[in-house]
C-alpha cells in the first residue's frame, strides 16, 4: 500500500495522478492533498479521496476551505507552511510533487527530510536545487522517481542496465509551434501564437517554455541531476510527433527508447507502480501513431534558451536558480503581452550577466537568489516594454 501526499492536486498532473490512484483503490491511500488556489476542485477531491489533511497555498482561501470541510474530520491548512505540513505528513510514505513553480521546492525537500520517497513532476526542484535534493535523497537512501514523460522514458530505459555503461542520453523535443518558422519571424511573435502547442495539452507557462525550448533546457538539467550524468552526455533531438519520449545510448552502441502516444497518465502510472507495472493501458501505441516518425537537430542559434540552460548547468551552483527565476518572470511578462518572443532570452541573459554566483548555495541562498533574480528580471523586462 502506497500512502501518498499529493502536492498540486488540482493541476494537470495532479488530476491525472488521482485518475491513476482511483484505478487502484487497493494499492493507494491518499493522506494529504494540497493546491495553489483551486478551492472548488480541492474540496471535491478531498471529499472523494478522504485524506487526513488538505492545504491551500493561497492563505486567503483558508477560511472557505475550513468551512467547506467542517464536520468531515479533514484538517485544513493554509500558506506555504500548510503545504509543507501536507508534504511531510507522517502517515504518508510517498510525495507526489506536482505543484508548479518555485512553490514546489520547499515541500519536495521537506518530504525527503521526513523520509519520503518522491514522484517528481515539479521542475524547479531539480532545476534550481538538483544538487541539494539528490544529495539529500542519496544520504537518506530515498528514491526520486520522475513523472515527466522524457525522464520517465529515460528511467524506464535504464532499468536492468549498467548505469556506468551509459554513453549519452537523447532527450526528444516536440520543437514547439515555431519549429519551422523562419529566423526573422521569431523575435516579434506573441504569446497567443505560442499557446498553440502541437502535441501536448499543458498549462500556459510550460507551453511558452516549450515554444522557446527552455522547457527542454530545464529537462536537460533535471536529467543531469536525476541520473548523475554530465551535461556532455546529454543531447537533444527534435521529434515533432512526440511519440519517442527519449532515448539512451550505451557504450556498445545499442540504443533503448520509450514510446507512447502523448498521455501523462502512462509515466504517472509507472512512477506509482515502479518497479512493477499495472494495467490499464491508458493510451495504446498503434500503427497510426507510427506512420512517420521524424527527428532533426534543434535550431540552437534561433532558440537560444536551450543553450543558456546547458551553459548554466555546466557552471552549476546558483546559476540555474537565476535561469529559472528570470525565465519565469520573462514568461509572465510575455503572457501579459508586455514583451515579445525575442525578448525572453534577452531578459534572461541580462539577468544572468548581473548575477554574482554562489558555488555551493544552501536552499535558503537559492531562495534569496531566486528573489533577487525575479526583481532584476522584472526591471529588465520593463526596459523592453513596448
Only segment of 115-123, 192-200, 213-221, 279-287 that touches its own copies (CB under 8 A):
279-287
Q: Of these, 139, 159, 201, 359, which contacts its own copies (CB under 8 A)? A: 159
If one asks whether residue 255 binds its own copies (CB under 8 A), the answer comes out as yes
Q: Of these, 102, 213, 247, 305, which contacts its own copies (CB under 8 A)? A: 247
DSSP 8-state class, residue 54: E
Residue 85, C-alpha cell as written in the block: 505540513
If one asks whether residue 296 binds its own copies (CB under 8 A), the answer comes out as yes
* Least distance in angstroms from the C-beta of 237 to its own copies: 6
Q: Of these, 19, 142, 237, 349, which contacts its own copies (CB under 8 A)? A: 237
Only segment of 59-67, 111-119, 216-224, 269-277 that touches its own copies (CB under 8 A):
269-277
Name which of 297 and 356 has its Cβ closer to its own copies: 297
Name which of 282 and 341 has its Cβ closer to its own copies: 282
* Least distance in angstroms from the C-beta of 152 to its own copies: 8
Only segment of 48-56, 66-74, 155-163, 207-215 that touches its own copies (CB under 8 A):
155-163
Q: Of these, 141, 180, 182, 276, which contacts its own copies (CB under 8 A)? A: 276
Do you know the residue count of the chain? 386
Q: At what angle do helices 214-226 and 304-315 cross, to 10 degrees?
A: 30
Q: Of these, 103, 257, 358, 363, which contacts its own copies (CB under 8 A)? A: 257
The SS3 assignment for 324 reads helix
* 257/282 Cα distance (integer angstroms): 19
Name which of 285 and 382 has its Cβ closer to its own copies: 285
Cis peptide before 275 (omega within 30 of 0): yes
Closest C-alpha among 18, 225, 10, 232 to residue 133: 225
Only segment of 67-75, 114-122, 260-268, 366-374 that touches its own copies (CB under 8 A):
260-268
On the CB side of 355, CA atoms within 13 Å amount to 32
Contact 120, 126 (CB under 8 A): yes
Query: 241-269 as b/e, with b when 16 or more CB fall inside 10 Å?
Result: bbbbbbbbbbeeeeebbbebbbbbbbbbb
* 367/168 Cα distance (integer angstroms): 32
Name which of 184 and 292 has its Cβ closer to its own copies: 292
Contact letters for its own copies, residues 297-336 (x by CB under 8 A) = x---------------------------------------
The 10 Å Cβ neighbour count of residue 48 is 12
* 22/9 Cα distance (integer angstroms): 13
**Residues in 166-205 at the binding interface with its own copies, rule: CB under 8 A:** 167
If one asks whether residue 260 binds its own copies (CB under 8 A), the answer comes out as yes
DSSP 8-state class, residue 182: -
DSSP 8-state class, residue 290: G
Q: Of these, 258, 324, 333, 351, which contacts its own copies (CB under 8 A)? A: 258
Contact 376, 326 (CB under 8 A): yes
Name which of 138 and 165 has its Cβ closer to its own copies: 165
* Least distance in angstroms from the C-beta of 359 to its own copies: 34
Name which of 244 and 306 has its Cβ closer to its own copies: 244
Cis peptide before 223 (omega within 30 of 0): no
- Taking every pair of C-alpha atoms in the chain, what is the biggest distance, in angstroms? 62
Position of cell 509507472?
270
If one asks whether residue 277 binds its own copies (CB under 8 A), the answer comes out as yes
* 183/178 Cα distance (integer angstroms): 10
Name which of 200 and 237 has its Cβ closer to its own copies: 237
Name which of 4 and 325 has its Cβ closer to its own copies: 4
Chain contacts with its own copies (rule: CB under 8 A): 156-162, 165, 167, 237, 244, 247, 249-260, 263, 266-267, 269-270, 273, 275-285, 287, 290-297
Amino acid at each position: 500500500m502506497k500512502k501518498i501526499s499529493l502536492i498540486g492536486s488540482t493541476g494537470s498532473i495532479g488530476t491525472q495522478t488521482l485518475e491513476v490512484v482511483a484505478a487502484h483503490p487497493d494499492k493507494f491511500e491518499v493522506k494529504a492533498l494540497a493546491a495553489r488556489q483551486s478551492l472548488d476542485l480541492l474540496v471535491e477531491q478531498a471529499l472523494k479521496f478522504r485524506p487526513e489533511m488538505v492545504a491551500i497555498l493561497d492563505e486567503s482561501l483558508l477560511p472557505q476551505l475550513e468551512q467547506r470541510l467542517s464536520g468531515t474530520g479533514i484538517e485544513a491548512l493554509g500558506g506555504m507552511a500548510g503545504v509543507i505540513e501536507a508534504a511531510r505528513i507522517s502517515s504518508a510514505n510517498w510525495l507526489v510533487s506536482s505543484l508548479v513553480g518555485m512553490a514546489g521546492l520547499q515541500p519536495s525537500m521537506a518530504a525527503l527530510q521526513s523520509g519520503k520517497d518522491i514522484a517528481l513532476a515539479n521542475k524547479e526542484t531539480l532545476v534550481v536545487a538538483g544538487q541539494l535534493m539528490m544529495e539529500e535523497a542519496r544520504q537518506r537512501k530515498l528514491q526520486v522517481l520522475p513523472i515527466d514523460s522524457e525522464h520517465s522514458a529515460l528511467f524506464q530505459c535504464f532499468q536492468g542496465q549498467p548505469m556506468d555503461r551509459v554513453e549519452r542520453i537523447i532527450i526528444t523535443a516536440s520543437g514547439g509551434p515555431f519549429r519551422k518558422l523562419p529566423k526573422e519571424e521569431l523575435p516579434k511573435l506573441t504569446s497567443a501564437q505560442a499557446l498553440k502547442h502541437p502535441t501536448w495539452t499543458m498549462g500556459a507557462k510550460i507551453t511558452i517554455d516549450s515554444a522557446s525550448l527552455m522547457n527542454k533546457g530545464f529537462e536537460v538539467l533535471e536529467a543531469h541531476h536525476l541520473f548523475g550524468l554530465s551535461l556532455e552526455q546529454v543531447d537533444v533531438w527534435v521529434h515533432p510527433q512526440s511519440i519517442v519520449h527519449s532515448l539512451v545510448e550505451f557504450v556498445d552502441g545499442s540504443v533503448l527508447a520509450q514510446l507512447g502516444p502523448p498521455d501523462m497518465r502512462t509515466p504517472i502510472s509507472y512512477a506509482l507502480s515502479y518497479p512493477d507495472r499495472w494495467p490499464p493501458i491508458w493510451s495504446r501505441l498503434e500503427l497510426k501513431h507510427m506512420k512517420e516518425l521524424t527527428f532533426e537537430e534543434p535550431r540552437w542559434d534561433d532558440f537560444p534558451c536551450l543553450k543558456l540552460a546547458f551553459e548554466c548547468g555546466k557552471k552549476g551552483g546558483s546559476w540555474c536558480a537565476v535561469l529559472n527565476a528570470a525565465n519565469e518572470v520573462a514568461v509572465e511578462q510575455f503572457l501579459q503581452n508586455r514583451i515579445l518572443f525575442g525578448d525572453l532570452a534577452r531578459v534572461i541573459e541580462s539577468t544572468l550577466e548581473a548575477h554574482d554566483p554562489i558555488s555551493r548555495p544552501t536552499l535558503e541562498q537559492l531562495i534569496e537568489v531566486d528573489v533577487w533574480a525575479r526583481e532584476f528580471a522584472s526591471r529588465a523586462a520593463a526596459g523592453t516594454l513596448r
